[in-house]
Amino acid sequence: MTSPASIIYTIGHGRHPFNYFLELLQQHEIAFVCDVRSAARSRWPQYNGRVLEENLRERGIGYEHLPECGGKVVAPPDELARGLDRIIELASELRVAIMCSESQPLTGHASPRANCHRVGLLSTPLRARGAKILHILPGGGLLELDEAKLPSIW
């Protein structure tokens, strides 16, 4: 008997106040955030790695920075694979969201494109590893799509 696919959520912090971001995570019962930015830094101080980690842990949500999954500096294939495997490992035990800075997963073009690397770089290989990917939208809804069919710069 095969095990059910892990569900991996994605979310972008955007310009959300921390409490709203937290509400989105809680709405979808996220237990662990995988920060997939190359560098855990933001112009919004609540999303700098150490601050974010502390704020999430105070609310019972785990956090891990996985820079090898970042989009600004794409890691060598073996490092990226290690990061993707870590996400799958966590998702097999917890409800996980991978997080980057872009709040919208798709552009607003007539033919939408990946707006961030969690869609354009990470979702397809995570699906290939058996995961189901659900994108948390800024309003709280979910989007499921075939990312492999989207134009992407990654």
Q: Tens digit of pLDDT for each residue in 38-94? A: 999 999 999 999 999 999 999 999 999 999 999 888 899 999 999 999 999 999 999
Which pLDDT score is estimated for 85? 97
Express each pLDDT in 10-44 by its tens digit.
999 999 999 999 999 999 999 999 999 999 999 99
Distances (CA, A) of 148 to 63, 98, 105, 153, 154: 27, 18, 14, 12, 11
| CATH 3.40.1010 applies to domain 7-149 | yes
Give the pLDDT band of residue 2 (cuts 50, 70, 90): very low
Give the pLDDT band of residue 1 (cuts 50, 70, 90): very low
Name the average pLDDT for the chain. Answer: 93
Domain boundaries, the chain: 7-149
Which pLDDT score is estimated for 4? 59
**What does 83-125 look like in DSSP terms, one character per residue?**
HHHHHHHHHTTS-EEEEES-S-SB--SSS--B-SHIIIIIHHH
HSE at residue 141, side-chain half, CA atoms within 13 A, is 5
Distances (CA, A) of 60 to 34, 53, 90, 101: 14, 10, 16, 21
Which pLDDT score is estimated for 71? 85
Give the pLDDT band of residue 110 (cuts 50, 70, 90): confident
Total-model pTM: 0.93
In whole angstroms, give the CA distance from residue 132 to residue 129: 9
Residue 154 has pLDDT above 70, yes or no: no
